Amino acid sequence: MPANSASQPAHRNGPGPIPPTAPTPAVPGRPPGADGGGEPPIRHPRRWLILAVICLAQLTVLLDNTILSVAVPSLTREMGASTADIQWMINAYSLVQSGLLLTAGSSADRYGRKKMLVTGLVMFGIGSVAAAYAQSPGQLIAARAGMGVGGALLMTTTLAVVVQVFAEDERTKAIGLWGAVSSLGFAAGPLIGGSLLNHFWWGAIFLINIPVALLGVIAVVRLVPESKSLGGERPDLLGALLSTVGMTGVVYAIISGPEHGWLSARVLVAAAIGLAGLAAFAVWERHVPFPMLDMHFFRDRRFVGAVTGGILIAFGMGGSLFLLTQHLQLVLGYEPLDAGLRTAPLALMIVVLNLSGVGARLLSWLGAPVTIVLGMGMISGGLALIGTLGGDGYGGMLAGLILMGSGMAVAMPAMANAIMSAIPPAKAGVGAGVNGTLTEFGNGLGVALLGAVLNSRFAALLPAVAAGAGSLSTALERARTDADRSAARDAFASGIETSELVGASAVLLGGVLAALLLWRAGRVARPARGADAEAGAA
């Protein structure tokens, strides 16, 4: 792997490219990219302002993941969109974005993170204008796909810029703040969308992106320093194609599974194409001279531990949110907006604790393995509380949401920092792409597996008159008596509770496994660092 002298930003008084510098000698006992030699770490003078700018860009992307859901009735009424059209309007964005994350990260490393950040903002803005003034479902789907390309560039470059402008001692806190924006976007999306739709037509939910994108472009051009890999690597075009095909196929299968059936031809073919693409990508990356994703990273136990934990945190969060919305609406009887408001405590706990730096302080005091076990144990405990007490009312669910949000605030920055620390700074964009890909994959996996547990339990407990019903609404239509309807509701509630307990167990086991891998990686690294230090002293 060629050394990258631009892995840390130069201390400059203004924006502009980070100039190449002489490589700093390796310091025994310090990980790649760490500040060493007893020298004070190099700090970009505008690093916190830069963080605010890229968090604003990140927030725009994440709001768009959730804001469209509240416009579904308006789109159905005013555009004549079918159920399939609505699904593609929502899924086109996430499908394109997840399929391009690795490619976007590699492009940012190769051609410049600042350039790709500006490009992403421009594409996102243009796509938002096209979406706002779309005249047909097909036009809106195409515009959403274009926004997904911009979103992939933004998701990867924002985290990569954080790694570049923050020294290691502040990086965990910065990543925590960056992660808090994800939760803020989740909580604020439906609320902002609902407020806009009360006063304007549905296109306003896209037009709100325009001033943010314009402000972001101006701020990025003026404030964010350019950084990229200086190794002179050739583009890995086949790797980019294979990773895009592979991720798109797998994510499409996960999205389509609940609707079309996991054994349907559509889902099986998409999954087969996706898995074949990812397998070919892995083989190609092992033999190409300049790989997009160096497969040797997977020999690093720290990287493997962080990857494992990252998938399972996303698994728990994606699956639990999928279950929570149904729990609130179909079991506790809340309207959609009320249900959205009642999930807000989870996101708000993440925002508050990350803004206060709790996760970063715990990581410095306890180390990554213990912090990850603590955080994922809290997530698991929150899910278990919701599964056991949530059926009796919102009080038990509120306690579980607060505990889950606290656990995510502790575990997510530690996990993202572990992934980014295990990858050389010259590959920060690829690292961010890996982190984003894991999140998308884990979210989809959580929805798929916990949804399957829910459906299985629900079907097993249904009364005979409603046997074979694929949903609670269908079961209630088939029920003939109040007793049958009550039994159908009880069956669904039991399925929800069982799924939440299964999710809690998976998250807890995943946290223990990830922490064990990180702990073993630390034990292996310490003797090696000690030997290097003795050799250096001699």
- Give Cβ neighbours of residue 222 (< 8 Å, ≥ 6 apart): 15
Partnered with residue 226 across adjacent β-strands are: 17
Structure-model confidence comparison of residues 116 and 261, the more confident one: 116
CB atoms within 10 A of CB 451: 19
Which range has the top average pLDDT, 160-174, 313-327, 432-446, 478-492?
Answer: 478-492
25 within some domain: no
The answer on 491 and 350 residing in a single domain is: yes
The answer on 95 and 82 residing in a single domain is: yes
CA 110 to chain CA centroid, Å, is: 23
Identify the domain boundary among 187, 205, 228: 228
The answer on 314 and 270 residing in a single domain is: no
pLDDT category of residue 186 using cuts at 50, 70 and 90: low
Residue-wise pLDDT tens digits, 278-330: 899 888 888 887 777 777 777 777 777 777 777 777 777 777 777 777 777 77
The answer on 212 and 99 residing in a single domain is: yes
How far is Cα 338 from Cα 383, in angstroms, rounded to an integer? 20
pLDDT category of residue 9 using cuts at 50, 70 and 90: very low
pLDDT of residue 14: 39
The answer on 242 and 214 residing in a single domain is: no
1 within some domain: no
The answer on 319 and 278 residing in a single domain is: no
> By the 8 A CB rule, do 438 and 382 touch?
no
The answer on 221 and 150 residing in a single domain is: yes
The answer on 389 and 371 residing in a single domain is: yes
The answer on 157 and 242 residing in a single domain is: no
415 within some domain: yes
76 within some domain: yes
Q: Is 20 exposed, middle or buried (0-12, 13-18, 19+ CB in 10 A)?
A: exposed
pLDDT category of residue 233 using cuts at 50, 70 and 90: low
The answer on 447 and 428 residing in a single domain is: yes
Residue-wise pLDDT tens digits, 413-443: 777 777 777 777 667 667 777 777 777 777 7
Q: Is the dihedral of CA 193, 198, 203, 206 positive or negative?
A: negative
pLDDT of residue 83: 62
CB atoms within 10 A of CB 23: 10
pLDDT of residue 527: 55
How far is Cα 132 from Cα 140, in angstroms, rounded to an integer? 8
Identify the domain boundary among 273, 290, 307: 290
256-259: Cβ within 8 A, 24+ apart = 257/448, 258/447, 258/448, 258/451, 259/87
> Which two tokens mark 313?
């945190």
How far is Cα 8 from Cα 165, in angstroms, rounded to an integer? 7
pLDDT of residue 126: 92
SS (H, E, C) 307-335: HHHHHHHHHHHHHHHHHHHHHHHHHCCCC
How far is Cα 156 from Cα 29, in angstroms, rounded to an integer? 29
Whether the per-residue pLDDT at 391 is higher than 60: the answer is yes
537 within some domain: no
The answer on 310 and 388 residing in a single domain is: yes
Tell me what percent of the residues of the chain surpass a pLDDT of 70.
80
CATH of the domain at 198: 1.20.1250.20
Q: How many domains does the chain have?
A: 3
> Which two tokens mark 76?
């159905």
20 within some domain: no
The answer on 477 and 436 residing in a single domain is: yes
Q: Which domain holds residue 55?
A: 43-228
128 within some domain: yes
What angle in degrees, to the nearest 10, is found between the helix axes of 113-132 and 83-111? 160
531 within some domain: no
Identify the domain boundary among 228, 251, 275: 228
